[in-house]
Amino acid sequence: METASFFFYQVTHGAIDCLIAALEARDPYTRGHSSRVAKLTELLLRELGVKGWEAELIHLAAHLHDIGKIGVPDEILRKPGKLTPAEWAKMQEHPVIGYRILSRSSSLKEIARMVLYHHERWDGKGYPEGLRAEAIPFGSRVIAVADAIDAMLSARPYRPPLTIAECLAEIERGGGSQFDPLLVGPARRILMRLEKLRSRLRKEAKRLEHAGA
Protein backbone atom coordinates (compact mmCIF):
# COMPACT_ATOMS: atom_id res chain seq x y z
CA MET A 1 0.00 0.00 0.00
CA GLU A 2 1.40 3.42 -0.96
CA THR A 3 2.28 5.81 1.87
CA ALA A 4 -0.51 8.28 1.00
CA SER A 5 -3.08 5.49 0.73
CA PHE A 6 -1.92 3.95 3.99
CA PHE A 7 -2.18 7.33 5.74
CA PHE A 8 -5.73 7.79 4.41
CA TYR A 9 -6.59 4.27 5.54
CA GLN A 10 -5.27 4.89 9.06
CA VAL A 11 -6.97 8.29 9.42
CA THR A 12 -10.26 6.94 8.07
CA HIS A 13 -10.25 3.96 10.42
CA GLY A 14 -9.33 6.19 13.35
CA ALA A 15 -12.21 8.56 12.62
CA ILE A 16 -14.60 5.63 12.19
CA ASP A 17 -13.56 4.14 15.53
CA CYS A 18 -14.27 7.49 17.22
CA LEU A 19 -17.72 7.77 15.61
CA ILE A 20 -18.65 4.21 16.58
CA ALA A 21 -17.44 4.76 20.16
CA ALA A 22 -19.63 7.88 20.39
CA LEU A 23 -22.69 5.91 19.23
CA GLU A 24 -22.01 2.91 21.46
CA ALA A 25 -21.75 5.21 24.48
CA ARG A 26 -25.40 6.17 23.88
CA ASP A 27 -26.94 2.92 22.67
CA PRO A 28 -26.29 -0.36 24.55
CA TYR A 29 -27.70 -2.44 21.66
CA THR A 30 -25.23 -0.95 19.20
CA ARG A 31 -22.32 -2.04 21.39
CA GLY A 32 -20.67 -4.78 19.35
CA HIS A 33 -23.42 -4.72 16.69
CA SER A 34 -21.46 -2.57 14.24
CA SER A 35 -18.38 -4.79 14.53
CA ARG A 36 -20.42 -7.97 14.06
CA VAL A 37 -22.21 -6.55 11.02
CA ALA A 38 -18.85 -5.51 9.57
CA LYS A 39 -17.49 -9.04 10.12
CA LEU A 40 -20.56 -10.66 8.54
CA THR A 41 -20.24 -8.24 5.62
CA GLU A 42 -16.61 -9.25 5.23
CA LEU A 43 -17.60 -12.94 5.15
CA LEU A 44 -20.34 -12.31 2.59
CA LEU A 45 -17.94 -10.37 0.36
CA ARG A 46 -15.42 -13.19 0.61
CA GLU A 47 -18.10 -15.69 -0.46
CA LEU A 48 -18.92 -13.42 -3.42
CA GLY A 49 -15.26 -13.03 -4.42
CA VAL A 50 -15.29 -9.25 -3.88
CA LYS A 51 -11.81 -7.99 -3.03
CA GLY A 52 -9.63 -4.92 -2.97
CA TRP A 53 -10.75 -1.35 -2.50
CA GLU A 54 -14.42 -2.12 -3.20
CA ALA A 55 -14.47 -4.66 -0.38
CA GLU A 56 -12.71 -2.22 1.95
CA LEU A 57 -15.23 0.57 1.26
CA ILE A 58 -18.19 -1.75 1.87
CA HIS A 59 -16.54 -3.04 5.05
CA LEU A 60 -16.09 0.53 6.32
CA ALA A 61 -19.71 1.35 5.44
CA ALA A 62 -20.83 -1.70 7.43
CA HIS A 63 -18.99 -0.39 10.49
CA LEU A 64 -20.80 2.93 10.07
CA HIS A 65 -24.23 1.74 8.93
CA ASP A 66 -26.01 2.85 12.14
CA ILE A 67 -24.02 6.02 12.81
CA GLY A 68 -27.12 8.12 12.13
CA LYS A 69 -28.61 6.83 15.38
CA ILE A 70 -26.47 9.51 17.03
CA GLY A 71 -29.27 11.86 15.96
CA VAL A 72 -32.12 9.74 17.38
CA PRO A 73 -33.49 10.85 20.80
CA ASP A 74 -32.33 8.80 23.80
CA GLU A 75 -35.87 7.90 24.87
CA ILE A 76 -36.35 6.15 21.52
CA LEU A 77 -32.84 4.75 21.15
CA ARG A 78 -32.82 3.20 24.63
CA LYS A 79 -36.48 2.18 24.86
CA PRO A 80 -36.59 -1.40 26.22
CA GLY A 81 -39.83 -2.38 24.45
CA LYS A 82 -41.23 -2.11 20.95
CA LEU A 83 -41.48 1.34 19.41
CA THR A 84 -44.76 3.12 18.71
CA PRO A 85 -45.49 4.03 15.06
CA ALA A 86 -44.37 7.63 15.73
CA GLU A 87 -41.17 6.46 17.42
CA TRP A 88 -40.49 4.01 14.59
CA ALA A 89 -40.88 6.82 12.05
CA LYS A 90 -38.26 8.79 13.98
CA MET A 91 -35.94 5.77 14.12
CA GLN A 92 -36.28 5.37 10.34
CA GLU A 93 -34.58 8.73 9.91
CA HIS A 94 -31.21 7.32 11.00
CA PRO A 95 -29.96 6.38 7.49
CA VAL A 96 -30.56 9.95 6.29
CA ILE A 97 -28.89 11.39 9.39
CA GLY A 98 -25.93 9.06 8.85
CA TYR A 99 -25.69 10.14 5.23
CA ARG A 100 -25.67 13.81 6.22
CA ILE A 101 -22.90 13.22 8.76
CA LEU A 102 -20.66 11.20 6.45
CA SER A 103 -21.24 13.12 3.22
CA ARG A 104 -19.69 16.21 4.78
CA SER A 105 -16.36 14.53 4.00
CA SER A 106 -15.63 14.22 0.28
CA SER A 107 -13.58 11.08 0.94
CA LEU A 108 -16.60 9.35 2.53
CA LYS A 109 -19.21 10.14 -0.16
CA GLU A 110 -19.43 6.56 -1.45
CA ILE A 111 -19.59 5.15 2.07
CA ALA A 112 -22.29 7.71 2.94
CA ARG A 113 -24.39 6.52 0.00
CA MET A 114 -24.18 2.88 1.14
CA VAL A 115 -25.21 3.92 4.66
CA LEU A 116 -28.16 5.90 3.28
CA TYR A 117 -29.64 2.89 1.49
CA HIS A 118 -28.90 -0.02 3.85
CA HIS A 119 -32.61 -0.30 4.83
CA GLU A 120 -33.91 -0.42 1.26
CA ARG A 121 -35.55 -3.67 0.17
CA TRP A 122 -35.18 -5.63 -3.06
CA ASP A 123 -38.95 -5.30 -3.68
CA GLY A 124 -38.91 -1.51 -3.24
CA LYS A 125 -40.74 -1.49 0.10
CA GLY A 126 -37.82 -0.25 2.18
CA TYR A 127 -36.73 3.22 3.24
CA PRO A 128 -35.80 6.06 2.91
CA GLU A 129 -36.47 6.25 -0.86
CA GLY A 130 -38.11 2.96 -1.78
CA LEU A 131 -35.36 1.95 -4.21
CA ARG A 132 -35.70 -1.54 -5.63
CA ALA A 133 -33.48 -4.31 -6.99
CA GLU A 134 -30.20 -3.19 -8.55
CA ALA A 135 -31.04 0.49 -8.08
CA ILE A 136 -29.91 -0.16 -4.49
CA PRO A 137 -26.11 0.13 -4.21
CA PHE A 138 -24.44 -3.28 -4.06
CA GLY A 139 -22.75 -2.50 -0.75
CA SER A 140 -26.07 -1.51 0.82
CA ARG A 141 -27.59 -4.83 -0.27
CA VAL A 142 -24.78 -6.79 1.36
CA ILE A 143 -24.93 -4.75 4.57
CA ALA A 144 -28.72 -5.26 4.73
CA VAL A 145 -28.26 -9.04 4.89
CA ALA A 146 -25.45 -8.83 7.46
CA ASP A 147 -27.49 -6.40 9.57
CA ALA A 148 -30.55 -8.66 9.49
CA ILE A 149 -28.54 -11.75 10.46
CA ASP A 150 -26.98 -10.06 13.49
CA ALA A 151 -30.31 -8.54 14.55
CA MET A 152 -32.02 -11.94 14.43
CA LEU A 153 -29.22 -13.73 16.30
CA SER A 154 -29.10 -11.05 19.04
CA ALA A 155 -31.37 -10.93 22.09
CA ARG A 156 -33.63 -7.92 22.47
CA PRO A 157 -35.62 -6.83 25.55
CA TYR A 158 -38.85 -7.94 23.84
CA ARG A 159 -37.66 -11.27 22.34
CA PRO A 160 -34.95 -13.95 22.67
CA PRO A 161 -32.44 -14.49 19.86
CA LEU A 162 -33.51 -16.65 16.94
CA THR A 163 -31.76 -19.96 16.39
CA ILE A 164 -29.47 -20.20 13.39
CA ALA A 165 -32.03 -22.44 11.66
CA GLU A 166 -34.75 -19.84 12.25
CA CYS A 167 -32.47 -17.07 11.02
CA LEU A 168 -31.62 -19.00 7.87
CA ALA A 169 -35.31 -19.65 7.20
CA GLU A 170 -36.00 -15.91 7.44
CA ILE A 171 -33.15 -15.04 5.08
CA GLU A 172 -34.35 -17.63 2.56
CA ARG A 173 -37.92 -16.39 2.89
CA GLY A 174 -36.75 -12.82 2.27
CA GLY A 175 -34.75 -13.62 -0.86
CA GLY A 176 -36.28 -11.70 -3.77
CA SER A 177 -38.47 -9.58 -1.48
CA GLN A 178 -36.42 -8.09 1.34
CA PHE A 179 -32.99 -9.24 0.16
CA ASP A 180 -31.05 -9.54 -3.07
CA PRO A 181 -31.69 -13.20 -4.04
CA LEU A 182 -28.04 -13.60 -5.08
CA LEU A 183 -27.00 -13.06 -1.45
CA VAL A 184 -29.12 -15.89 -0.01
CA GLY A 185 -26.67 -18.64 -1.00
CA PRO A 186 -23.61 -16.93 0.53
CA ALA A 187 -25.61 -16.18 3.70
CA ARG A 188 -26.71 -19.82 3.90
CA ARG A 189 -23.10 -21.06 3.68
CA ILE A 190 -21.97 -18.65 6.41
CA LEU A 191 -24.82 -19.60 8.75
CA MET A 192 -24.24 -23.32 8.20
CA ARG A 193 -20.56 -22.89 9.11
CA LEU A 194 -21.59 -20.95 12.20
CA GLU A 195 -24.02 -23.72 13.21
CA LYS A 196 -21.27 -26.34 12.85
CA LEU A 197 -18.94 -24.22 14.97
CA ARG A 198 -21.58 -23.77 17.68
CA SER A 199 -22.29 -27.51 17.63
CA ARG A 200 -18.60 -28.32 18.10
CA LEU A 201 -18.37 -25.83 20.97
CA ARG A 202 -21.44 -27.34 22.67
CA LYS A 203 -19.97 -30.84 22.36
CA GLU A 204 -16.62 -29.67 23.72
CA ALA A 205 -18.33 -27.92 26.64
CA LYS A 206 -20.22 -31.12 27.49
CA ARG A 207 -17.01 -33.17 27.23
CA LEU A 208 -15.20 -30.82 29.63
CA GLU A 209 -18.18 -30.86 31.99
CA HIS A 210 -18.20 -34.66 32.11
CA ALA A 211 -14.42 -34.81 32.46
CA GLY A 212 -14.59 -32.53 35.49
CA ALA A 213 -17.47 -34.39 37.12
CATH number at residue 185: 1.10.3210.10
Total domains in the fold of the chain:
1
Residue 127's identity, in one-letter code, is Y
Q: What's the confidence (pLDDT) of residue 17?
A: 76
Q: What's the confidence (pLDDT) of residue 9?
A: 56
pLDDT band at 203 (very low <50, low <70, confident <90, very high): confident
pLDDT in tens, 10-26: 556 677 777 778 777 77
pLDDT value at 41 more than 90:
yes
Q: Which of 117, 128, 172 is nearest to 149 (CA)?
A: 172
Q: Which of 117, 115, 122 is nearest to 182 (CA)?
A: 122
* Whole-angstrom Cα Rg for the chain: 18
- The whole domain housing 114 covers 3-212
Q: What's the confidence (pLDDT) of residue 8?
A: 54
pLDDT band at 82 (very low <50, low <70, confident <90, very high): confident
pTM of this structure = 0.87
pLDDT band at 187 (very low <50, low <70, confident <90, very high): very high
128 preceded by cis ω (within 30°)? yes
